[in-house]
Chain A
Amino acid sequence: MSSKMDLPPDVLLELPRITMLGQLHIYIENHRGLLVYSDKELRLLMKQGQLLIKGKDFVLKTMLPEEILLEGEIEHVYFINE
């Protein structure tokens, strides 16, 4: 549907838009809340499922209602669909 209407899919389907800068930054838009946060992992609630990020020395640089900027050494990004 999104390809037919020529609209960006993240707006239409409320998918997370994830931008990564190497292993340094990860910028996540369209999340639905914070589940677990420590300096080694971050678990975010999505519209569908969860997003799990693992790594070292995590600091949440900014936390806005629908955006999160995480800094640290990112090692894994998992999509968990139940």
Chain B
Amino acid sequence: MKNQWTANLTGMVQVKVMGLGPERFLNECMRKGIPLKNVKKNGPNSISFTIDLKDYKRIRNIPRKKEYKVYFIGRQGLPFEIRRAWKHFGFVIGLVGFLVVLFLLSNMVWRIDVKGASPEIEYKLRKDLHSLGVKTGVSQFSLPKLQTIQKKLQDDNPSITWIGVQLKGTTFHFEVVEKHLPKPDRKIRPRHIVAKEEAVITSMFVEKGKPLVTTNDYVKRGQVLVSGIIGTEDHPIIVPAVGKVIGEVWREEIVSIPLNTKFTVLTGEKKKRYYIGTSQSKIKFWGFDKNKYKAFQTEDNVYQFKFLKWKLPIYFTKKTIHESEDIVRTYTKAEAINVGKQTGRNDLMDKLSQDAKILQEKVLHESLDNGKVNLRIYYKVLEDITKTKTIVQGD
């Protein structure tokens, strides 16, 4: 006996026979070997039953007799459903196409909003975003992570205190807080200029005030260089001293450079794996070749699919496997000393203002222990040694 379910798949036709002695028609069917189902007698001269669609042609070939008539009253099953759907083919295609397009468009960037920035900053930000790949019409898969964008923007724009990056649907919101540097105090209060460091003065330029030292003088830290009190002793006038004093300052740096340093570097070889799945499990659908790297680092990029404003519980993961390599950098002692000197110079310049100049450097002491070269380096630096000190009234 055939299953009802498979009959539904292949399709069924309902037949009604009316007339005198409809049983004869049933016998005719049986002789032809046509299986009948659900045979019901509706009245004395009427029988209805169901046949498989594949027997439809055979049943039509049975010669009709005048005593009864055969009607086909109903059709059911998948083939008829498909035929019905086929009639609305255009509509179905349109619907599917519409959903696909909507889905694709939901995963694109449509607008970039920048809030709280002055026009010039906004222009610069938009330019930076463009170079990062954040522009309208681009798909959101290809974009870097929000944190990366945020960090990059913040690093590239020093005049921004903070930038908030938010992706709402298809719109990027950037909220910018600009740095408002305090305006320099127009009214300078009366003050002296004193030495910041122990130094020998090489040049000085005084705009206002009474210089108390001259070139080639040795000054101690805190010593008054330019006094803010001018005029005679009987009639002193207190002014803010303004000037620039350049002095030779001695500085010392201690650097230690290891001879052997271990690094993990990426060779540049990489493999990509693509996964799709839910938050719990994922299925790989691209990148099935074997990972032959001995050492590697993996990087996961997870993207959640969106449909209109909803986030779908479907995740797209791009996994990049970078081949890595451990290398050991080895310096000879001479090389290490050279590197140490360079490092010392850089360290020193970091501490000094930009217009400072190194006149002379000298390695005072070098030693090698525990695989490290330790250096003590002495520098002679030309720098601005001024520091202001407010004159307290009534002093």
A-to-B contact residues, CB < 8 Å: 33-39, 58-65, 69
Contacts and interface: CB of A to CB of B under 8 A. Distances in A.
A38 B40 CA distance: 8
Contact of B39 (A35, A36, A59): A59
Contacts of A59: 38-40
Contacts of A34: 23, 26-27, 30
Nearest to A40: B41
B12 interface: no
B181 interface: no
Contact of A37 (B1, B37, B41): B41
Contacts of B74: none
Contacts of A69: 1
Contacts of A60: 36, 38-40, 49
A29 B193 CA distance: 124
A39 B49 CA distance: 13
Contacts of B1: 62, 69
Residue of B27, B30, B33, B40 contacting most chain A CB atoms (<10 Å)? B30
A33 B31 CA distance: 9
Contacts of A58: 41
B39 A33 contact: no
A37 B27 CA distance: 11
B302 interface: no
Given A37-B47, A38-B41, A39-B41, A63 B30 contact: yes
Nearest to B37: A62
Contacts, number: 49
A69 to B, nearest CB: 8
B35 interface: yes
Nearest to A63: B36
Interface of B: 1, 23, 26-27, 29-31, 33, 35-41, 44, 47, 49
Grouping DSSP codes into helix (H, G, I), strand (E, B) and loop, the A interface class, with mixed when no group exceeds half, is strand
A36 B22 CA distance: 9
A65 B41 CA distance: 19
Contacts of B49: 60, 63
A63 B29 contact: yes
Contact of A35 (B23, B35, B41): B23
Contacts of A64: 30, 33, 35-36
Given A60-B40, A63-B29, 11 more contacts: A34-B23, A35-B23, A36-B23, A39-B41, A59-B38, A59-B40, A61-B38, A62-B37, A64-B30, A64-B35, A65-B31
Nearest to B35: A64
A60 B27 CA distance: 13
Nearest to A31: B30
A29 to B, nearest CB: 12
A63 B47 contact: no
Contacts of B38: 59-61
Closest 9 CB pairs of A and B: A60-B39, A63-B36, A38-B41, A33-B27, A64-B35, A65-B33, A65-B30, A34-B23, A39-B41
B54 to A, nearest CB: 15
Nearest to B33: A65
Contacts of B47: 37
A35 B23 CA distance: 7
B101 to A, nearest CB: 50
Contact of B23 (A37, A61, A62, A65): A37
Nearest to A33: B27
Nearest to A43: B23
B35 to A, nearest CB: 5
Contacts of B30: 33-34, 63-65
Contact of A62 (B26, B31, B35): B35
B384 to A, nearest CB: 108
Contacts of B33: 64-65
22 contacts: A33-B27, A34-B27, A36-B23, A37-B47, A39-B41, A59-B39, A60-B36, A60-B38, A60-B39, A60-B40, A61-B38, A61-B39, A62-B35, A62-B37, A63-B30, A63-B35, A63-B37, A63-B39, A63-B49, A64-B33, A64-B35, A65-B31
